[in-house]
Amino acid sequence: MNVGRGYMKKQKTIVYKISDNTMNEMKEYFEDKKRLKTPPYAIFQADEADTVVTLYESGKVMFQGISADIDAAMWKERESFLNNGKVVTELTKDKKKDKKDKKDDYDRLDYYFINSIGSDEVGTGDYFGPIIVASAFVKKSDISFLEDLGVRDSKKVTDEKIIKIAPDIIKRIPHSIIILDNENYNKNYSTDINMNKIKAILHNKALLTLLNKDSYNYDMIVVDQFVNKTKYFEYLKGNPNVVRNITFTTKAEDKCLSVACASIISRYLFLKEINRLSKELQITIPKGAGTEVDKVGKEIVAKYGKEKLYSISKMNFKNTAKILD
């Protein structure tokens, strides 16, 4: 089965510090190539073919992209010419925390300025409501649109904000949605089919569904890492159709816009389902799996009987024993 015509490109990130006269020349050179928005403490961020150039107030300049080494080399030569042969070297940091911060910043850029497909799920930690997995395709030309909406990790965006911006994302961004309702979850969950296996199956299905809609020109498929790569594909063993060219990374929603979009879409649909369920039962249904869930669960059992839990909750959660005690 055709799962898309993606191709991988090697993203590079190079950073060094330049002098004031080179900074002035860069500002003039990139005047017509600047992006409307800049990162914190940056003088500008600009596009130079396949390279994103960011100049910071501190004098540090970052080149990120497929041709970053070419553009970085060009400006190194310019720095040397303007400053009597001065040689600049790529910046490194000694402290462990600084190294980690630098790696995280670079890591985020590697996933950000690309054409990407990402998937994310919601509901796996909630006692009430379904599990929803969404996949989304984001082009580099969509980045400004999504930044204007304030898209980032949906876990850091309020529910009110998600309800407001999700319809615009759904309208513009190609996506697919897979929903596992509670009855089917309870019927299939077992010691052999645990939560991580269910997530792997749903992610694979969402990605296949999206990829079969069109031949997307993507650089990378990104999934938030909930198990290691080997285990993920082990869960899918026996499935004849598996998307394999996946990049797994932690905190993917915060690094990759396609994962952030998938996260917001799935969260939006989950919130709508919780709202529908609250109206149907005439009881406000809480999210999560805390003590408030136990309290509401007891109220539902008293009003509708314990059989009702099977169709609205995940029966393997410890909340069930507390509710029925």
Number of residues that this document lists for the chain: 325
- State pTM to two decimals: 0.70
Which of these ranges, 87-101, 148-162, 200-214, 253-267, has the smallest mean pLDDT? 87-101
Structure tokens given for 318: 């410890």
State CA 124 to chain mean position distance: 16
pLDDT at 282 over 90: yes
Q: Is 13 helix (H, G, I), strand (E, B) or coil?
A: strand
Supply the pLDDT for residue 80.
87
pLDDT in tens, 295-324: 999 999 999 999 999 999 999 999 999 999
Supply the pLDDT for residue 100.
47
State CA 30 to chain mean position distance: 30
123 and 272 co-located in one domain: yes
193 and 237 co-located in one domain: yes
pLDDT in tens, 256-266: 999 999 999 99
Q: Does residue 2 contact residue 58 with C-beta atoms inside 8 Å?
A: no
Structure tokens given for 47: 């596009």
285 inside domain: yes
169 inside domain: yes
5 inside domain: no
Q: Which domain holds residue 309?
A: 278-324
- The C-alpha atoms of residue 249 and residue 262 are separated, in whole angstroms, by 15
pLDDT at 325 over 90: no
**Among residues of the chain, what percentage have pLDDT more than 70?**
89
Residue that is last in its domain, among 238, 253, 277: 277
Supply the pLDDT for residue 308.
96
Q: Does residue 298 contact residue 171 with C-beta atoms inside 8 Å?
A: no
- Cα–Cα distances (Å) from 112 to 57, 148, 259, in that order, read 22, 15, 10
Rg (CA), the chain: 24
269 and 137 co-located in one domain: yes
Supply the pLDDT for residue 40.
73
